[in-house]
Structure formats: structure tokens, C-alpha cells
Amino acid sequence: MSSYFTDLAQQYIDGEWRPGTGSWDIIDFNPYDGEKLASITIATVDEVDEAYQAAARAQKEWADTNPYARRGVFEKALGLIKEREQEITDVIIAELGGTRVKAGFELHLAKEFLREAIHLSLRPEGRIIPSPIDGKENRVYRVPVGVVGVISPFNFPFLLSIKSVAPALALGNGVVLKPHQNTPITGGTLVAKIFEDAGLPKGLLNVVVTDIAEIGDAFIEHPIPKVISFTGSDKVGRHVATVTASHFKRSVLELGGNSAIVVLDDADIDYAVDAAVFSRYVHQGQVCMAANRVLVDRSIADEFTEKFVAKVKSLKVGDPRDPETVIGPVINSSQADALASTVEQAIAEGATALVRGETTDNLVSPSVLTDIPAGSALLHQEVFGPVAFLIPVDGEEDAVRVVNDTPYGLSGAVHTANIERGVNFAKRVDTGMFHVNDGTVHDEPIVPFGGEKSSGVGRLNGETMLDAFTTLKWISVQHGRSGFPF
């Protein structure tokens, strides 16, 4: 594993591994024990430009390559991930503080999305559309946008980089990837290495490890990329949307959430407890789809709460390398401090701590809070960590009202013995995704993924990748002579 953090601690531009030329370094730390993993000299605005120029040069030939030949690269990349699964697992654990369960989950999905990219290479189809003009043939071609800029987050960096990079490449585009500063290897240069070894032509995929303190908006303002695919917070996403729109670019925004899991009065309580604990505490709660809020019908609230609290207390907190660990570290000290402040604020507002977690360095133990005042701002924001808000509700109508009382609309779940009751409930919730009798954290390669309201714009996965990373071009052919009015 150590070689990944030495060999890949560079920029990857135009098929070359080289150091950045910035005046400072990004230091990559293990969030569990503070070990320095890598030091990467940042990329400058000039290097961002070089990366985009390289992608644009390589893209033309790639787009003209037979799609059956293109898909071979993704088949090889899938094989490489399988071969290197243990090493990649170790990198995820070291750089993210992800547990072994989390690493397995992320790698499984990454492989599934690569399998879909193999098929996506052959998916674009054209159409012939009738014309009211005699002798005219209207052809509509689906063509690559050209170059795509991808900005990936720190929580599932390997998966969420591949999720945009692979389909964009499969559809004939060039890509420049900017990983999060906390995960430059897993979310950036490791992805580049896999595609390089899989035989992707030089220049098509570039990785720039940098920071807005150095480059400002250069990555999203650059004239070459026609689409920016961003996954991250709604605050940054709003800025990305504003800048890209002002430059007539398309943006695909997968943003934060404030999801709820709802337990109705006829639910299987034990099963709902399992689903709720997973939905809130998977990867320390650092998941956009995580269930911040656990809504329980008041008639079963006591039994549910007792079982929920008992299960949360049983979760092992500690070294993510330990296979028994469920809760590892959050990504950095700022996140840990923010979570401690969230719990303190809730209690100061009158909330009751059924479980009050402790913070030791970046290890944040789970908390369970209830009696949160209805007007608390905490109920309307995303809490990116292992803090659950238990909220009793008075029946189905009250549950729908509370679920929708948030600026976000990403995911959610409802538990009930009546499937159609659950489906009808889901239809009334303003989210892009909702699940009946399951958890809130799901992603599948051919199902549209995305949110409403402040949770994003656009969709990814399956057919929606065509909308994200290709454009339509109308070419008409006039058979015979056309008539003109003068």
C-alpha cells in the first residue's frame, strides 16, 4: 500500500506523472492516527490549463474510436480493480478512515459502475425525424460534449470519481478530475493509474491535485470543459452552478441531504431499527443519503427508541483496520469539532441526549438526541457525522409534513407492513429517491440518482448519463431542390 502514497503523490497531466509547480504542498494524513501519508505540491492555474488542453487534444481521436474498442479499456480497468482489491481497500482505510465494511461497499459499487460503463460505450443512438418539407431528412446525432471537469468529494472518493469519470470517457469525452484535498490518492491519482494501466490513451484523463486558494474558480471557468460534474456540499454546489451558468456550461450537481427514515405504526420494529442504525451510522454518517432524522410514530416510539439506543450503544468505535469496527474516524478535526458543537447546541436548545458520544481526536462516538425543539435550525440542515435525531410523529400526515420540512430532497425511507401505503407515502415526499422497507443509503448503476431542492440538479446513472455527458446535434439533408421565398 505504501507505494501508492509515494508513487501516486503527483499530478497526472497529458499522460505524465509530475510534481505540481505551486508554492505549497497538500499534506495527506491518516485521519485515525495522524500519520503523514503523502505530500503533494499543488497544481497551479497553468497546470489546470495544461490538463484541459491535453484532454481536448486527445478527445477528438477518442471520440472517433470504434465504441467496441473503447469499451475494452473499461473491461481491463474492471479486471485491475479486482486484482488490486486488497491494496485499494488498504488505501481507503488509511486515507479516509473507512472501515473494512465501508471499503467493501465502495469497491463493490465501483466495479458495478465500471460494468455499466462497458455497456454505456454502445448506448448512444441517433434518430431520423420526419420533416414537413418534402425531400428533407432530419438526422439527430448524440455526440460527446467534448471535455468534462469532475470534482469529487472525500466520503466515497474512489466510487464517486469513477461514477462520473468512467461514463464520461465511455461516451467519447476527455476528462480532467480534481479530487478533494483530503483524498487526493483514492479519489484522484489512483483512478488515473488504473486507467493508465488499462490502456487509456494519454491525455484523455488528467488529474490535478490543487486547492481553490491557489486556483480560485479556474477549474470551473476554463473555456474548454462543457460540463462540470460536482459532488459535494450545497453551499459549494450553489457557487459552482452560478459560475458555470454564467459561462454557459452545463453542471451536474450531486449535493447534500437531510434524509429521514420514517417508521409507521405498523412497521416491523426490529427490522426498522436495523435499517435506521445502518442509514445513520454507515461510514460515520458521512454520507449524503444518511438518515439525519429518524421519525417514529408515537404509538411505537418507546419500544423503537429502547431498541435503537441499545443497538447504537453496541457499535464498536475505533481503529478502522479492525474488522469489528463499525465507527471509524471522521475525515478531519474540523469535522470532529463541528459535530461536537452540533451536539452541544442541541442540548443547549433543550434536546435530551439518550446517547452522548465523546470526541477523541477525529474519533466521534455516536450520539442519539431527542426532544429537539421543532424550530431548531439543526432539524433543517445536513449533519455529516454520527449524530441521530429521534423525532416522534403523530400519524402519517404529521410524518409527511416533518419529512418535507427541510431545504433538501435527496433520499429517504419508510417502514410499514403495507407496501402500497409505503409507496403512496413515498410519492408525497419531495425527494429524488425514496425507499420502502429499506435503508436510505442506496446507489445502483442503471437507476437515476439525484435530488430535488438543495440536494442537486440533474441525474446520474444509466440512461441519464447520456443526458449528462453527451449533447444532441441536428443535421438535415435536403434530397432534391428546396424552395426559397426569394
Q: Looking at the annotation, which residues are catalytic?
A: 254, 288
Is 484 exposed, middle or buried (CB count within 10 Å of its CB: 0-12, 13-18, 19+)?
Answer: exposed
**All three cell numbers of 453:** 431542492
Residue 33: CB partners within 8 Å, gap ≥ 6? none
How far is the C-alpha of 454 from the C-alpha of 108, rounded, in Å? Answer: 28
How far is the C-alpha of 183 from the C-alpha of 234, rounded, in Å? Answer: 19
DSSP classification of residue 370: E
CA 89, 93, 96, 101 dihedral sign is positive
Q: Which residue has the cell 430532497?
A: 409
What do you get for the CA distance between the two ends of the chain, in Å?
73
Residue 345: CB partners within 8 Å, gap ≥ 6? 378
> 305 near 296, Cβ under 8 Å?
yes
Residue 277: CB partners within 8 Å, gap ≥ 6? 308, 311, 312, 315
User: In 3-state terms, what secondary structure has residue 49?
Assistant: helix
**All three cell numbers of 163:** 461514477
Using alpha carbons only, how large is the chain's radius of gyration in Å? 24
Amino acid at site 274: D
